[in-house]
Each structure stands twice: as C-alpha cells, then as structure tokens.
Amino acid sequence: MSPRRAERTLRVGIVCPYSYDVPGGVQFHVRDLAEALIARGHTVSVLAPADDDTPIPEYMTAAGRAIPVRYNGAVARMTFGPVTAARVRKWLAAGEFDVLHLHEPVTPSLGMLALWIADGPIVATFHTALIRSRPLQMAYPLVRQSLEKISARIAVSEDARRTLVEHMGGDAVVIPNGVYVDAFTAATSDPRWTGTPERPTIAFLGRLDEARKGLPVLLEAVPRVLAELPGARFLVAGRGETGPDEVRELLGDEAAAAVEFLGGISDEDKANLLASVDVYCGPQTGGESFGIVLVEAMSAGATVVASDLGAFSRVLDDGAAGILFRTGDSADLASTLVRVLRDPDLRARVSKHALEVVRQYDWATVTDQVLAVYEMVVAGRDAPVGEDPSSIRGARLLEPRRGRGDSR
C-alpha cells in the first residue's frame, strides 16, 4: 500500500443539527468524523444543540437546549431562533475556520442558521432519504438563495442524493457514513448473548417507539419463528416506551418470554452484542438513507437479515452480504430467519463476503474522501470562513412572533 500523501492542516468547523442530549445516527456520524479528522492532525470544532449540563467532548460547543420536533418519521431535537443565531455567530467568529461543514442544512436547526450567517468555503452533507418530504418542501424557499453559497455537496447514499436532486436540484458526491470497522471486528463474544444451534440469538438495535425502525414487524414474526425454532432468543437493545408488558400483551406470555429487553447499551456492549449473535435483524420500514447499524453488524461478523429497502439492499450488495426480506412482511421475515438460522454454511458464506464489503465504509477510507472535498473547496481561498453581510437582513426571519419565545 502506498503511503498517504501529505495533507494541509485545516481548521474545520462542523455543525450538527440534532441534539447531543439524545444522540442518533447523524450525531454519531458527526462525532466520529470529528475524531477521525483530529487523529489526522486537523483542528476541529463541532457546534451542536445540547443542554449546558450535558456531557460533551472537549472539541464540541453546546448551542443550547433543543426542542422535540417530528421530522422524517421520528422525533428530532433541534434548536432555532435569534438567541441560537447569536451563538452561531460567536462560534463562527472564534473559529476562523478554513472550511465549514454543515449537516442537514435545510433542517430548521443549527445547519440552516449557519448557512444563512456564514460565507466562504462551505461543504454540506445531506443524510435524508424520502420519496416525498413535506418538511423539505416547506424549508426549501427559506434556504433557496443560501444554498448557492454551498461550495460542495455530499450525500451519504444514492438514496439521499436522489432526495436532494428531486427536492432541491443540483447534485452531490456520494460519500457513505463511516464505521470504525476494526473496532467491531475485534469485538469479543459475550456468553450472555452467544447463540447455540438449539438456542440461536437474533438482535435488534434501535429506538423502540419509532415505528419506522420496524420493531413491531419483528415482534409479529416471533411466534412464527418459535414454532420452528422453540429455543430462539430475541435480544432487543434501545431506548423507548415499548417493554415487556407491551410485548406480553401482544404475543402472550410464552412468546414474550423469548424477547429480552437490554435497554440502552454502550458502544462497547453494542459491538460485543453484534459479535455474539447469530443474526442481526434490520426490519426498518422506510426513511432510511444508509443503514449504519447494518455495517456495524457486518463488521462484527453477524449475519444480517434486513428489509429490502433500496438503501439496505445497496449496503448489503444486493443480498450477497446479507439476506433481504420483503419490507413490512412479518411472515416473510419469519421464514427468512428460520432459513438462515438453520443454515450455518449460508451464514458463514454471507458473513465472509460482508467482511470484504464493509472495508469501503471504514473511517480511514471515508475520511480520505471527505478531506478531498475539503481540499477542493479550500483551494485558492486565502480568507477563512466569515460572516455574510446579508445575513443581518435574513435574521429578521428568526424573530419570534408575538407571544412566542426563542428556544433556549
């Protein structure tokens, strides 16, 4: 392997739209990208919504408490308004960034504010993949002119790129979400979660109260799987209101006993869980642009069974690196799980190919691609990111209406 070429040391400002108080996929992507860039010697500052008492990394600046908003089939926690805009201005002025990297700049949160306020080398990453997006259609008129300030666009998947093109025009380079592949490959099997031929284990990770994550689809499949494999165990990790009582009411005591709720788990436990189970199940029903947890499971050696969403199919190499079932079809999921659990040769073959596929998603590769975009937009620009003089006029849009206050 040839040595990596020398890179210019950059000052990078990254804006995360969603709250660090309740982290999710975009927040983890921002965190891991920041740490990958810092490991390369770059100076990085992240601005994210967070309460003042929320533990955050030293490279992160809290932009204040966020409010919950329904967005993309989930509840996203975002912050907006004139007080938040003032914090964005202060952070930008202090940073003197060579490049500003915004995530989801058309979401009414920090990214949109920073796009209004800033001028200079700006990169934007788009994560959302929706066939029809009313929030995007509503937000677009507010940011249409500001989008012209973006020097380069990144989409995390072909699905996200298509959403961007269809709703806002223009195009983007596809750079996937990153995973520290070796951290999952090196994870150790935990006896609590390790499956056996008589008692195979199936894992699910995700928000338990977001229907699009597909837990109801998996739970409906449980009795059918148990009819064929009575010892099967279903390990459910994640936060939410769904719990043993709800499952017992849905499935009855006997089937519910096969479902174990692990609650929220640490990154280390997540890796060990995925390294222990026979199958990782991704039953999501829509709204997915990539499928980061699938890549994590593949890296840990679990055989993936997932719904045949376009984004999942692409990550799973059209079914060669994981087994696909019909989205939302619990009966098809059950028969697929039984077939995969009964065939260790199939699991070994699919998992071996998956370990080859995941290398393209390793942060070493993804960081190279992101840095290439940074270098392109910075080339020929001597001045750091600054304030757009016209943003003062745009700030009037942020003024609260009578009787309403700013989110702080």
Which tens digits make up the pLDDT trace of 35-67? 999 999 999 999 998 888 888 999 999 988 766
Mean pLDDT on 67-79: 55
Is 50 exceeded by the pLDDT of residue 23? Answer: yes
Contact in structure between 312 and 306 (CB atoms under 8 Å): yes
- Burial code (b: 16+ CB inside 10 Å, e: under 16) for 144-182 equals eebbebbbbbbbbbbbbbbbbeebbeeebeebbbbbbbe
Statement to judge: residues 140 and 192 lie in one domain: no
CA distance 235 to 262: 7
List the one residue out of 23, 215, 38, 12 whose CA is nearest residue 95: 12
pLDDT at residue 392 above 80? no
Total count of domains within the chain? 2
Q: Is 6 inside a domain boundary?
A: no
Residue 304 lies in a domain: yes
- Rounded Cα distance between 110 and 92, Å, is 12
The pLDDT of residue 131 is above 60? no
Same domain, 43 and 154: yes
Q: Could you tell me if residue 3 is inside a domain?
A: no
According to the model, what pLDDT value does residue 20 have? 85
Q: Between the CA of residue 379 and those of 76, 101, 383, what are the distances in Å?
A: 35, 15, 11
Q: Could you report the per-residue pLDDT of 305-345, keeping only the tens digit for each? A: 999 999 999 999 999 999 999 999 999 999 999 999 999 99
Q: Which residue has the higher pLDDT, 321 or 83?
A: 321
Dihedral pair phi/psi, residue 272, rounded to 5°: -70, -35
**Residue 2: its pLDDT value, please?**
42
Whether 1 is in a domain gets the answer no
**What pLDDT, on the 0 to 100 scale, is given for residue 408?**
40
Confidence label for 407 from pLDDT (cuts 50, 70 and 90): very low
Residues 68 and 187 in one domain: no
DSSP 56: -
404 confidence band (pLDDT: 50, 70, 90): very low
pLDDT at 210 exceeding the cut of 90: no
Q: How many other C-beta atoms lie within 10 A of the C-beta of residue 111?
A: 27
Q: Taking CA 238 as the corner, what is the angle to CA 183 and CA 266, rounded to the nearest 5 degrees?
A: 35
**pLDDT exceeds 90 at position 80:** no
Question: Which domain covers residue 120, as residue numbers?
Answer: 11-178+362-396
Of 67-81, 160-174, 244-258, 328-342, the least confident: 67-81
CATH number assigned to the domain comprising residue 226? 3.40.50.2000
Residue at 333 is within a domain: yes
More confident position, 349 or 110:
349
